[in-house]
Structure 1
Amino acid sequence: MNFFQEIHDLGLQGDLKIVVTTTAQNSLLVSVLLANEKCGDNARHSIPPLILKGSPAEMDAGFIERISAPIQKTSGLMVSMENHLKQTADAEKQSKMAKDNKGNKDAKAPEQKAPESEPKTKKQTSPAPASAPLFADLDINDDPELEDEE
């Protein structure tokens, strides 16, 4: 049995705490608790230890198989809880930055001058249809500056 290699192969995040107690009936009572101090969610403290009871031969035969699924699930849960806390904090920061940026834009808006209206021309024309050329309404021959150049 490669006990420590098998524990390592579980890929747990945190500290695996194992307490072995011999009972009056000459059997073993084994408590297994995964503690992950990197998880900032205090709900991690409400996860109870896994308790196994059996003879030494029974523990040797199936200890890893009996703890692997529940302990891996606990490890994944704690990692997910920590990721959730980080993502929530990031979202809160981004939301605060968005509010601050919006507040800054609102504060700058009154300072900005409204653009002056364009000077009125003698001849007001309606917008040209989309298929018409852009300068269709202009008559170059009416421009006094161009007459001087000729």
Structure 2
Amino acid sequence: MFIEIADLMSDNDMLTLVVTKKDGIMSVSVLPKKVGLKDEAKNHLSPMVLRGTPEEIDQHFIRQVRSPLEKTIGMLTNMAVYEKSMEETIAKSKAATEAKKQEDAKKKAFTEKMKKVETLFNEKKISEAALLLKQASDMPCADKKQCEIMKSKIDVELNSGTLFVD
């Protein structure tokens, strides 16, 4: 009997059996559980109860509980898989949110650096603006087009004071 019960169960399955006897009739209560399952629905399962003489219980127990146990254990397993999937989704969502925050911080740092380049350029501190632009251009989230436009402006200013034109 226990080999057949073990075949119905998987890891983290638990089976509670309560056996009582009164006036020669036995009652066997069977309640499957999934260890670690958090869903409250698990607490609303009713046990299967079989009644009969000890001989009847011996002969028919597995045949009577096999199908309901398979269904219930399957449902509990699905609930556990769903819970695990939800936990993984939440973890991935947190990771995505964190990655977005990091990306936003990088973009903000680039924007601030470019504002500083603009300020230096407007203050006619062209060499400093050029150096800072080089740093901004090397940032991972740099807007290459914006950097090229500013580089062109800086190049014009840097070349405007020479006597020789290319």
Please say whether Structure 1 and Structure 2 have the same fold, judged by a TM-score greater than 0.5: yes
Higher mean displacement: 39-48 or 80-89:
39-48
The 8 Å contact of residues 14 and 32 in structure 2, kept in 1 or not, is answered as yes
**What pairs up with 1:43-122 in 2 under 5 angstroms?**
43-112=41-110, 113=114, 114-117=146-149, 119=152
Query: Hey, what does 1:20 align to over in structure 2?
Result: 19
RMSD: 2.2
Would you tell me which structure has more helix in proportion to its own residues? 2
Normalised to the residue count of structure 2, the TM-score between the two structures is 0.62
Q: Percent identity?
A: 32
Amino acid at match of 1:67: V
Q: Deviations over 1:108-132 (max 9, x none)?
A: 2132243132749xxxxxxxxxxxx
- CA distance in 1 between counterparts of 2:10 and 2:53 reads 26
Larger relative contact order, structure 1 or 2 (CA cutoff 8 Å, min sep 6): 1
Q: Deviations over 1:23-80 (max 9, x none)?
A: 33x2211101123223232321221111111222321221101101111222222222
The 8 Å contact of residues 37 and 80 in structure 2, kept in 1 or not, is answered as yes
Query: Hey, what does 1:7 align to over in structure 2?
Result: 5
Give the number of the structure whose alpha-carbon radius of gyration is greater: 1
Gaps spanning 5+ residues in structure 1: where? 121-144, 146-150
Q: Deviations over 1:63-111 (max 9, x none)?
A: 1011011112222222221211111111111112112211221222132
- CA distance in 2 between counterparts of 1:119 and 1:19 reads 85
Query: Hey, what does 2:32 align to over in structure 1?
Result: 34
Q: Secondary structure of 2:2's partner? A: helix
- CA distance in 1 between counterparts of 2:108 and 2:18 reads 69
Q: Secondary structure of 1:35's partner? A: strand
- CA distance in 2 between counterparts of 1:119 and 1:28 reads 94
Q: Say if 1:106 and 1:64 are closer, same or farther in 2 by CA, change over 3 A.
A: same
Gaps spanning 5+ residues in structure 2: where? 115-145, 154-165
Q: Say if 1:77 and 1:107 are closer, same or farther in 2 by CA, change over 3 A.
A: same
Matched residue count:
118
